Amino acid sequence: MLETLRPDPTFHPSPRLAMEAEAEHIAYTALLSPDRSRPDALAVVDVDPTSKTYGKVLNRLEMPNRGDEFHHFGWNACSSALSPMSGHAFLQRRYLIIPGMRSSRIYVVDTQPDPSAPKLIKTIEPEEVMHKTGYSRPHTVHCGPEGIYVSTLGGSGPDGTQGPPGVFVMDCETFELLGRWEIDRGPQQLHYDFWWNLPRDYMVSSEWALPPQFENGIVAEDLLANKYGHAVHFWDLRGRTHVQSIDLGANHQMALEIRPAHDPTREYGFIGVVVDTTNLEGSIWTWYRENGKFNIKKTATIPPEPADAANLPPLLKGFGAVPPLISDIDLSLDDRFLYVACWGTGELRQYDVTDPMKPALAGSVRIGGIAQHTQHPNGRPFGGGPQMTEISRDGKRVYFTNSLYSSWDPQFYPDGVPGVQAMCNVGAGGGIKIDPDFHVDFGPDYAAHQIRLQGGDCSTDSFCYPSA
């Protein structure tokens, strides 16, 4: 009983204190069945280098349904629960909330009492999600001070186009759906990622597309016509109202992952843009608030790489080049290094963002890639390229998987993207190198997506207090 009267030891007031915590021993990885012939699953991976089963799958929890399409899942609670505004003082980082992006179904998985053997304890059916929120296609889960926030990619109706998508809130103890978060959404019509600065009381969100533009594959005509998302939205977090939009320009297609600075005194963050339709380059943008107004600036670009058309999938043959396709970015807890996954070229880049307006390339590795097909250092093949990334709290390890989305993978990688998880070790002063001893093969029947680390990671927690 006494244990429940203390804050969860994996909650940390500041990013620096989180960096000093014990290293992760387990990673939870979302697995999905690309052809929907079997249920999606949650894999438990041993990431303790002193263990005899290092780099092995300890367990696999299969779900009861098919066709869910697991992507971005998250914890029921994290360090944000230490906020002075929190109404839940005795929460634990215990449950994983796993949304089915295609089915609109949500699973709640309990990681206790044995973290290596999680159990499914609750299933929320799509009818309830749509009835209580008006949204569909749940995508990103963030644990807030008072509840679980879930972003969606679809509105209501069978194809998710009846009304705009948005964010809804779940109770972090009962997992009841409370309803949609927005009081006033302003001009926002598309959604993708979101994150916030809790003490500064604002939220940032991004845009991808509506379900007909992604569920059956990328729609090339829409991409070339610049019909995917290209704006960033800023919100009053407590007031739940839209305050400002910034359009990046229609040619900057698919403004996706949002990564604010972890230290709440720093009012800036980063967003990755998948592709510029005028030149196929990817880009990193830095947003910041100055005198109460939000601004954004393109601060880094990554060019496409020329390639023989014979080595390109039909979608790219006419271009004679491989776009980097920035599919994920992640920021270390000390706000020093930004990792950029270039899923198309098979490159994982490390930028020193000590000056957030001038990212400087500090490291790079190659693995996979549409044209290069670079092998893992152990000599095994790697389909796809670096995709979802997750950084350890101490910043010394960067884990990544290789699948983007089930219906997009074969458009860019016709030979398939069997699920694999790899890891880079980070040099003390920067630089990254793929660990030759860490290669998790999930087999040809699964694609691998989001990774969550035991005790928290760099795209899970938001902090309420500055680092001393």
Model pLDDT, residue 7: 79
Q: In order along the chain (468 residues), what is the average pLDDT of each group of 10 residues?
A: 66 96 97 97 98 97 98 96 77 96 98 97 98 98 95 96 98 96 98 97 97 96 97 97 98 98 98 98 98 97 96 94 98 98 98 98 98 96 97 98 97 97 96 97 96 96 94
Q: What is the CATH number of the domain that holds 119?
A: 2.130.10.10
Q: Give domain status of residue 468, yes or no.
A: no
The two structure tokens encoding residue 140: 């990103």
Reduced to 3 states (helix: H, G, I; strand: E, B; else coil), residue 79 is helix
Closest CA to 227 of 215, 214, 216: 214
The strand pairing partners of 269, in sequence order, are: 260, 287
Residue 429 belongs to what domain range? 2-453
Q: Give domain status of residue 363, yes or no.
A: yes
Q: What one-character DSSP code corresponds to residue 23?
A: P
Model pLDDT, residue 3: 47
Q: Give domain status of residue 308, yes or no.
A: yes
Q: How many angstroms separate the CA atoms of 346 and 307, rounded?
A: 13
Cα 239 to the chain's mean position, in Å? 25
Model pLDDT, residue 84: 84
pLDDT in tens, 55-100: 999 999 999 999 999 999 999 999 999 988 776 667 899 999 999 9
Q: Give domain status of residue 357, yes or no.
A: yes
- pTM value is 0.97
Q: Give domain status of residue 373, yes or no.
A: yes
Q: Give domain status of residue 7, yes or no.
A: yes
Q: Give domain status of residue 463, yes or no.
A: no
Q: Give domain status of residue 158, yes or no.
A: yes
Secondary structure (DSSP) of 226-286:
T-S--EEEEEETTTTEEEEEEE--TTEEEEEEEEE-SSTT--EEEEEEEEETTT--EEEEE
Contact call for residues 143 and 460 (beta carbons, < 8 A): yes
Task: Work out how many domains the chain is built from and give that number.
Answer: 1
Q: Residue holding tokens 């229609």?
A: 250
